[in-house]
Protein backbone atom coordinates (compact mmCIF):
# COMPACT_ATOMS: atom_id res chain seq x y z
CA UNK A 1 0.00 0.00 0.00
CA UNK A 2 1.42 3.40 -0.95
CA UNK A 3 1.21 6.62 1.05
CA UNK A 4 -2.01 8.38 0.20
CA UNK A 5 -0.30 11.73 -0.48
CA UNK A 6 1.41 11.90 -3.82
CA UNK A 7 5.14 12.68 -3.74
CA UNK A 8 5.43 14.32 -7.16
CA UNK A 9 5.02 17.77 -5.65
CA UNK A 10 7.14 17.33 -2.55
CA UNK A 11 10.38 15.69 -1.38
CA UNK A 12 10.60 12.24 0.21
CA UNK A 13 10.61 13.05 3.95
CA UNK A 14 12.63 11.15 6.56
CA UNK A 15 11.99 12.08 10.18
CA UNK A 16 15.09 11.45 12.27
CA UNK A 17 15.14 11.59 16.06
CA UNK A 18 16.72 10.27 19.22
CA UNK A 19 14.08 9.48 21.82
CA UNK A 20 13.84 8.30 25.43
CA UNK A 21 12.22 4.94 26.22
CA UNK A 22 8.97 6.74 26.98
CA UNK A 23 8.78 8.90 23.88
CA UNK A 24 10.54 12.17 24.78
CA UNK A 25 13.03 13.93 22.49
CA UNK A 26 13.91 16.47 25.18
CA UNK A 27 13.35 16.58 28.92
CA UNK A 28 11.46 19.18 30.94
CA UNK A 29 14.73 21.03 31.52
CA UNK A 30 15.49 20.99 27.79
CA UNK A 31 18.07 18.20 27.76
CA UNK A 32 18.08 16.59 24.30
CA UNK A 33 21.46 14.81 24.53
CA UNK A 34 20.23 11.29 23.83
CA UNK A 35 22.48 10.07 21.02
CA UNK A 36 25.57 7.92 21.47
CA UNK A 37 28.55 7.97 19.12
CA UNK A 38 27.07 5.39 16.73
CA UNK A 39 23.84 7.35 16.53
CA UNK A 40 25.69 10.55 15.70
CA UNK A 41 27.36 8.63 12.86
CA UNK A 42 23.90 7.61 11.62
CA UNK A 43 22.59 11.18 11.89
CA UNK A 44 25.53 12.74 10.07
CA UNK A 45 25.49 10.13 7.30
CA UNK A 46 21.78 10.71 6.82
CA UNK A 47 22.40 14.46 6.72
CA UNK A 48 25.04 13.97 4.04
CA UNK A 49 22.69 11.83 1.96
CA UNK A 50 19.82 14.31 2.21
CA UNK A 51 19.32 17.36 0.06
CA UNK A 52 18.09 19.45 2.99
CA UNK A 53 17.39 19.35 6.73
CA UNK A 54 14.33 21.06 8.20
CA UNK A 55 13.63 22.05 11.83
CA UNK A 56 11.17 24.21 13.74
CA UNK A 57 12.18 27.57 15.21
CA UNK A 58 12.10 26.28 18.81
CA UNK A 59 14.78 23.71 18.02
CA UNK A 60 17.03 26.49 16.78
CA UNK A 61 16.30 28.66 19.82
CA UNK A 62 16.84 25.83 22.31
CA UNK A 63 19.69 23.83 20.75
CA UNK A 64 21.33 26.44 18.49
CA UNK A 65 22.02 23.58 16.04
CA UNK A 66 24.45 24.13 13.14
CA UNK A 67 22.81 21.38 11.07
CA UNK A 68 26.01 20.64 9.17
CA UNK A 69 27.85 17.37 8.53
CA UNK A 70 30.76 16.66 10.87
CA UNK A 71 33.81 15.03 9.30
CA UNK A 72 34.59 12.93 12.39
CA UNK A 73 31.27 11.07 12.02
CA UNK A 74 31.21 10.41 8.27
CA UNK A 75 34.89 9.67 7.67
CA UNK A 76 34.86 11.28 4.22
CA UNK A 77 37.42 13.77 3.02
CA UNK A 78 34.88 15.61 0.87
CA UNK A 79 31.78 16.61 2.81
CA UNK A 80 28.43 17.39 1.25
CA UNK A 81 26.36 19.70 3.43
CA UNK A 82 22.60 19.79 2.92
CA UNK A 83 20.59 23.00 2.68
CA UNK A 84 19.34 24.11 6.12
CA UNK A 85 15.68 25.06 6.55
CA UNK A 86 13.92 26.61 9.56
CA UNK A 87 10.20 27.28 9.78
CA UNK A 88 9.00 30.26 11.76
CA UNK A 89 5.76 32.16 11.13
CA UNK A 90 7.34 35.53 12.03
CA UNK A 91 10.93 34.75 11.06
CA UNK A 92 11.70 34.68 14.77
CA UNK A 93 15.23 33.31 14.57
CA UNK A 94 18.03 34.94 16.58
CA UNK A 95 20.44 36.60 14.16
CA UNK A 96 23.39 35.15 16.04
CA UNK A 97 22.07 31.56 15.64
CA UNK A 98 24.77 29.21 14.40
CA UNK A 99 22.49 28.16 11.54
CA UNK A 100 23.08 31.68 10.21
CA UNK A 101 26.60 32.48 11.39
CA UNK A 102 28.34 29.09 11.01
CA UNK A 103 29.50 28.30 7.47
CA UNK A 104 27.37 31.01 5.79
CA UNK A 105 28.29 29.57 2.37
CA UNK A 106 25.85 26.71 3.10
CA UNK A 107 22.39 27.83 2.07
CA UNK A 108 19.90 28.54 4.88
CA UNK A 109 16.24 28.90 3.98
CA UNK A 110 13.71 30.50 6.32
CA UNK A 111 10.16 29.31 5.62
CA UNK A 112 7.86 31.98 6.99
CA UNK A 113 4.50 33.74 6.43
CA UNK A 114 3.21 37.21 5.63
CA UNK A 115 3.25 37.81 9.41
CA UNK A 116 7.01 38.20 9.14
CA UNK A 117 7.77 41.94 9.09
CA UNK A 118 9.46 43.29 5.95
CA UNK A 119 12.30 44.61 8.11
CA UNK A 120 12.89 41.13 9.56
CA UNK A 121 12.83 39.56 6.09
CA UNK A 122 15.39 42.12 4.93
CA UNK A 123 17.57 41.49 7.96
CA UNK A 124 17.56 37.73 7.34
CA UNK A 125 18.31 38.23 3.63
CA UNK A 126 21.16 40.61 4.43
CA UNK A 127 22.64 37.82 6.55
CA UNK A 128 22.57 35.53 3.50
CA UNK A 129 19.34 33.60 4.20
CA UNK A 130 16.77 32.83 1.53
CA UNK A 131 13.31 33.83 2.81
CA UNK A 132 10.25 32.03 1.42
CA UNK A 133 6.78 33.33 2.25
CA UNK A 134 4.28 30.48 2.66
CA UNK A 135 0.75 31.62 3.48
CA UNK A 136 -0.65 34.18 5.88
CA UNK A 137 -0.10 32.25 9.14
CA UNK A 138 -0.54 31.60 11.95
CA UNK A 139 1.68 28.65 10.93
CA UNK A 140 3.88 28.22 7.88
CA UNK A 141 1.94 26.52 5.08
CA UNK A 142 4.04 23.36 4.87
CA UNK A 143 2.39 22.09 1.71
CA UNK A 144 3.35 25.30 -0.09
CA UNK A 145 6.87 25.22 1.36
CA UNK A 146 7.53 21.60 0.37
CA UNK A 147 6.27 22.31 -3.13
CA UNK A 148 8.69 25.24 -3.52
CA UNK A 149 11.56 23.21 -2.06
CA UNK A 150 11.03 20.49 -4.63
CA UNK A 151 10.33 22.70 -7.63
CA UNK A 152 12.72 25.61 -7.12
CA UNK A 153 15.50 24.09 -5.00
CA UNK A 154 15.46 20.53 -6.42
CA UNK A 155 15.16 19.03 -2.94
CA UNK A 156 14.18 15.41 -3.42
CA UNK A 157 15.13 14.00 -0.01
CA UNK A 158 14.30 16.08 3.05
CA UNK A 159 15.49 15.12 6.52
CA UNK A 160 13.10 16.35 9.21
CA UNK A 161 15.01 16.87 12.46
CA UNK A 162 12.18 17.98 14.75
CA UNK A 163 11.14 19.21 17.11
CA UNK A 164 7.95 17.61 18.28
CA UNK A 165 5.61 20.43 17.21
CA UNK A 166 6.82 20.48 13.60
CA UNK A 167 6.81 16.66 13.54
CA UNK A 168 3.09 16.65 14.46
CA UNK A 169 2.13 19.08 11.71
CA UNK A 170 4.10 17.09 9.14
CA UNK A 171 2.45 13.85 10.31
CA UNK A 172 -1.05 15.36 10.19
CA UNK A 173 -0.44 16.42 6.61
CA UNK A 174 0.76 12.87 5.82
CA UNK A 175 4.10 14.26 4.66
CA UNK A 176 6.34 11.89 6.62
CA UNK A 177 7.35 8.86 4.56
CA UNK A 178 9.87 7.26 6.88
CA UNK A 179 11.09 7.56 10.47
CA UNK A 180 14.63 6.77 11.59
CA UNK A 181 14.45 6.52 15.34
CA UNK A 182 17.18 5.85 17.89
CA UNK A 183 15.84 4.90 21.31
CA UNK A 184 18.00 5.60 24.36
CA UNK A 185 17.75 3.53 27.58
CA UNK A 186 16.59 6.48 29.68
CA UNK A 187 13.26 7.99 30.73
CA UNK A 188 12.05 11.37 31.94
CA UNK A 189 8.74 12.46 33.44
CA UNK A 190 7.84 15.13 30.91
CA UNK A 191 9.26 17.33 28.14
CA UNK A 192 8.85 17.41 24.35
CA UNK A 193 7.29 14.28 22.87
CA UNK A 194 8.37 12.96 19.45
CA UNK A 195 4.89 14.01 18.27
CA UNK A 196 4.16 16.81 20.69
CA UNK A 197 0.37 17.08 20.85
CA UNK A 198 -1.51 15.32 23.61
CA UNK A 199 -4.75 15.42 21.61
CA UNK A 200 -3.22 13.70 18.58
CA UNK A 201 -5.08 10.41 17.83
CA UNK A 202 -7.06 10.01 21.05
CA UNK A 203 -7.33 6.24 20.46
CA UNK A 204 -4.75 3.81 19.07
CA UNK A 205 -7.24 2.71 16.42
CA UNK A 206 -7.01 6.22 14.92
CA UNK A 207 -3.24 6.03 14.50
CA UNK A 208 -1.65 5.73 11.06
CA UNK A 209 0.01 2.39 10.41
CA UNK A 210 3.71 2.38 11.25
CA UNK A 211 5.64 -0.57 9.76
CA UNK A 212 8.96 -1.56 11.33
CA UNK A 213 11.28 -2.28 8.39
CA UNK A 214 14.49 -2.60 10.35
CA UNK A 215 15.39 -3.00 14.03
CA UNK A 216 19.01 -3.09 15.18
CA UNK A 217 21.05 -2.36 18.26
CA UNK A 218 23.21 0.73 18.04
CA UNK A 219 25.61 0.40 20.99
CA UNK A 220 23.40 0.89 24.04
CA UNK A 221 20.56 2.28 21.86
CA UNK A 222 17.99 0.61 19.63
CA UNK A 223 17.65 1.82 16.06
CA UNK A 224 14.55 1.31 14.02
CA UNK A 225 13.56 2.36 10.51
CA UNK A 226 9.83 2.74 10.17
CA UNK A 227 7.77 3.28 7.04
CA UNK A 228 4.42 5.03 7.27
CA UNK A 229 1.21 3.93 5.68
CA UNK A 230 -1.57 6.41 6.20
CA UNK A 231 -4.30 3.84 6.48
CA UNK A 232 -6.06 2.62 9.63
CA UNK A 233 -4.05 0.04 11.59
CA UNK A 234 -6.92 -2.44 11.49
CA UNK A 235 -6.31 -3.09 7.77
CA UNK A 236 -2.92 -4.63 8.54
CA UNK A 237 -4.68 -7.73 9.86
CA UNK A 238 -6.85 -8.26 6.80
Ligand X SMILES: NC(=O)c1ccc[n+]([C@@H]2O[C@H](COP(=O)([O-])OP(=O)(O)OC[C@H]3O[C@@H](n4cnc5c(N)ncnc54)[C@H](OP(=O)(O)O)[C@@H]3O)[C@@H](O)[C@H]2O)c1
Binding site for ligand X (CB under 6 A): 17-18, 25-26, 30, 32, 34, 55-59, 62-63, 87-90, 92, 139-140, 142, 161-166, 169, 192, 196
Closest separation in Å from C-beta 55 to ligand X: 6
Handedness of CA 4, 199, 144, 49 (dihedral sign): negative
For ligand X, the closer of residues 106 and 173 by Cβ is 173
Distance (Å, whole) CA 207 – CA 195: 12
For ligand X, the closer of residues 3 and 26 by Cβ is 26
Closest separation in Å from C-beta 235 to ligand X: 28
178-193 in b/e burial notation, b at 16+ Cβ within 10 A? bbbbbbbebebeebbb
For ligand X, the closer of residues 196 and 229 by Cβ is 196
Instruction: Return the CA Rg of the chain.
Output: 18
For ligand X, the closer of residues 77 and 96 by Cβ is 96
3-state class (DSSP) for residue 130: strand
Closest separation in Å from C-beta 140 to ligand X: 4
Closest separation in Å from C-beta 79 to ligand X: 21
Distance (Å, whole) CA 192 – CA 112: 23
Amino acid sequence: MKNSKCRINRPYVILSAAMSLNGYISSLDGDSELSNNQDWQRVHNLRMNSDAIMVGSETIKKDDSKLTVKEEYVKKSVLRHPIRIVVSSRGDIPVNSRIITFRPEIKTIIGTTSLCLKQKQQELENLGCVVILCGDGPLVDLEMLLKVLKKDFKINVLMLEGGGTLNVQMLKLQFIDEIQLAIAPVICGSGTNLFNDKYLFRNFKDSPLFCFKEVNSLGDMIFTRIVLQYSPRIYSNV
